[in-house]
Amino acid sequence: MSQLPLRAQLASALGRTAATLSRATGRGDGSVIGGRVGLMLEPDLLRKLAADRKLVLVSATNGKTTTTRLITSALQELGDVATNAFGANMPAGHVSALASSKGAPYGVLEVDEKYLPEVLDTTEAGIVCLMNLSRDQMDRAAEIWLLAQKWRRALAGRPAHVIANCDDPLVTWGASTAARVTWVAAGQRWREDSWCCPECGGPLDRAGFGNGGQNLTAAQLADTSWACRECTFHRPEPNWVLDGEDVIDPRGQRWRLDLQLPGQANRANAAVALAVAETLGLDPGRALPRLRTVTSVAGRYTTVEREGRSLRLLLAKNPAGWLEAFDVADPALPIILSVNAQGPDGRDTSWLWDVDYRILRGRPVLVTGERRLDLALRLAVAEVPFQLCESFEQAVAVLAPGKIDVIANYTAFQQIRAEFGRAV
Ligand SMILES: [Zn+2]
């Protein structure tokens, strides 16, 4: 990598100092404050830090952090990788990530969906990875359509190579102005935001239908093709296909994933990661063993122990995330649900009504968190028996020693992690 100009070097160094101070004073991992200081001193710092690297931007409603981690692990086979591992996914976090690994020839950055056009413009990243778009907390379908439209404008006329999930119609539409796209049939479980054609507003004919996929047969879920009934917009032919436990590469070769991360959503993330890795010259034979080393990502899927109870932590921030968590949770185990409504969660919990909770019938369900009453009402209407608990500790104490699944939204998850130690 070429040397940074003096001003950028200074900004980058001061940013790192601010990050160290922030960590030392217990104000978090420091990545955001450090980046902010750097950007204040040198507004062009992100552009300068991004230059001369092979850069991958990763964006989606769900799975950004995990996919960023999977791609990073794969590319470490090729060399050092700069990455924002802790989910600081706006420009200050990107500055901090790149400044802390200045010599790394590769960069993999998780990018907030709304910031993608700006970050692409600044960094001129060569690879952009787009996985899914769905309502997030109170965002409605119209807003994610606007987001996809911004992606289209940002990608048009750029040389970036896009790796996109063609099973998500909105992502397909958002990616299709790019000069070059590798399509990955990575599946789509949450379909409630994909009934209309993003191009013309007409009805989309889908292979599977209903209830966000929860009541679909395995064969219906496997068939993910779609087409607009009124215009020519349809699913592109995929280059890579996720087929159950396997990924089929563009040459037709089948690779058994055998990940340590659980669930269909993570197999989809891994399929996308393999496609990205190959774009950078790393074939699945070398990338896959690296993906299998990832066991938990920023505390997700971590198991923590307390008084004979093994609690597995699952994060679900929006309706699609809850379906993914249900897919991972073990039907034979009791489950604790914890819902907060602080700033990062969104204060309005009406999204709880978008989730079909009936899959939880038949297992012990404990409900806690600031908005436990909202969730309790929703469960009562869905006729899911549950027990209301004042606190997370109380919920844990109610259950007998053994394995327990926990699904929590953002701040509830962070509270539980803080209490049980920041295992990563
Ligand atoms: Zn159409």
* Domain end (from 266, 291, 316): 291
Instruction: Give me ligand 1 centre to Cα 204, in Å.
Output: 7
* Domain end (from 244, 262, 291): 291
The answer as to whether 407 is a domain residue is yes
Exposure on the CB side of residue 126, measured as CA atoms within 13 A: 13
The answer as to whether 8 is a domain residue is no
Mark whether 98 and 71 lie in a shared domain: yes
d(C-alpha 396, C-alpha 76), whole Å: 39
Q: What is the CATH number of the domain that holds 316?
A: 3.90.190.20
Mark whether 234 and 318 lie in a shared domain: no
Q: Is the pLDDT of residue 353 over 80?
A: yes
pLDDT, greater one: 6 or 57: 57
415: number of Cβ within 10 Å:
17
Contacts of 20 (CB under 8 A, 6+ apart): 30, 34
pTM confidence score = 0.86
Mark whether 214 and 323 lie in a shared domain: no
Mark whether 205 and 324 lie in a shared domain: no
**Angle, CA of 385, 389 and 393, to the nearest 5°:** 130
User: Which of the four pLDDT bands, split at 50, 70 and 90, describes residue 176?
Assistant: very high
Q: Which of 111-115, 203-207, 215-219 holds the top average pLDDT?
A: 111-115
Instruction: Give me ligand 1 centre to Cα 230, in Å.
Output: 5
Q: What is the CATH number of the domain that holds 115?
A: 3.40.1190.10
Mean pLDDT of the chain, nearest integer: 89
The answer as to whether 67 is a domain residue is yes
Write out the catalytic residue numbers: 348
Backbone angles phi, psi at 303, to 5 degrees: -105, 130
Q: Which residues on adjacent β-strands are paired with residue 402? A: 309
Mark whether 149 and 278 lie in a shared domain: yes
129 known member of a binding site:
no
Give the pLDDT mean for 140-150. 84
Instruction: Give me ligand 1 centre to Cα 59, in Å.
Output: 24
The answer as to whether 150 is a domain residue is yes
Instruction: Give me ligand 1 centre to Cα 196, in Å.
Output: 8
Task: Encode pLDDT of 377-401 as tens digits.
Answer: 999 999 999 999 999 999 999 999 9
User: Which of the four pLDDT bands, split at 50, 70 and 90, describes residue 7?
Assistant: confident
Instruction: Give me ligand 1 centre to Cα 269, in Å.
Output: 28
Mark whether 252 and 345 lie in a shared domain: no
Instruction: Give me ligand 1 centre to Cα 239, in Å.
Output: 23
Q: Which residues on adjacent β-strands are paired with residue 410? A: none
Which domain range does residue 307 map to? 303-419
The answer as to whether 26 is a domain residue is no
Mark whether 68 and 190 lie in a shared domain: yes
Mark whether 309 and 284 lie in a shared domain: no
196 known member of a binding site:
no
Give the pLDDT mean for 37-45. 79
Instruction: Give me ligand 1 centre to Cα 169, in Å.
Output: 11
User: What pLDDT, on a 0 to 100 scale, did the predictor assign at position 219?
Assistant: 54
User: What pLDDT, on a 0 to 100 scale, did the predictor assign at position 210?
Assistant: 41
The answer as to whether 143 is a domain residue is yes
User: Which of the four pLDDT bands, split at 50, 70 and 90, describes residue 348?
Assistant: confident
Mark whether 77 and 226 lie in a shared domain: yes
Q: Residue 243 in 3-state DSSP?
A: strand
pLDDT, greater one: 85 or 218: 85
The answer as to whether 40 is a domain residue is no
| The total number of structural domains that make up the chain | 2
Q: Is the pLDDT of residue 374 over 50?
A: yes
Mark whether 275 and 245 lie in a shared domain: yes
Q: Is the pLDDT of residue 214 over 60?
A: no
Mark whether 231 and 349 lie in a shared domain: no
User: What pLDDT, on a 0 to 100 scale, did the predictor assign at position 220?
Assistant: 52
* Domain end (from 265, 291, 317): 291
Mark whether 59 and 141 lie in a shared domain: yes
User: What pLDDT, on a 0 to 100 scale, did the predictor assign at position 142?
Assistant: 63
Of 99, 2, 91, 103, the closest CA to residue 43 belongs to: 91
User: Which of the four pLDDT bands, split at 50, 70 and 90, describes residue 212?
Assistant: very low
What percent of the chain is modeled with pLDDT above 90? 67
Q: Is the pLDDT of residue 192 over 50?
A: yes
The answer as to whether 33 is a domain residue is no
- Identify the weakest region by mean pLDDT among 128-142, 190-204, 380-394: 128-142
Q: What is the 3-state secondary structure (H, E, C) of 244-259?
A: CCEEECCCCCEEECCC
Instruction: Give me ligand 1 centre to Cα 225, in Å.
Output: 15
- DSSP letter at 304 equals E
User: Which of the four pLDDT bands, split at 50, 70 and 90, describes residue 211?
Assistant: very low
d(C-alpha 415, C-alpha 424), whole Å: 15
Whether the Cβ atoms of residue 317 and residue 137 lie closer than 8 Å to each other: yes
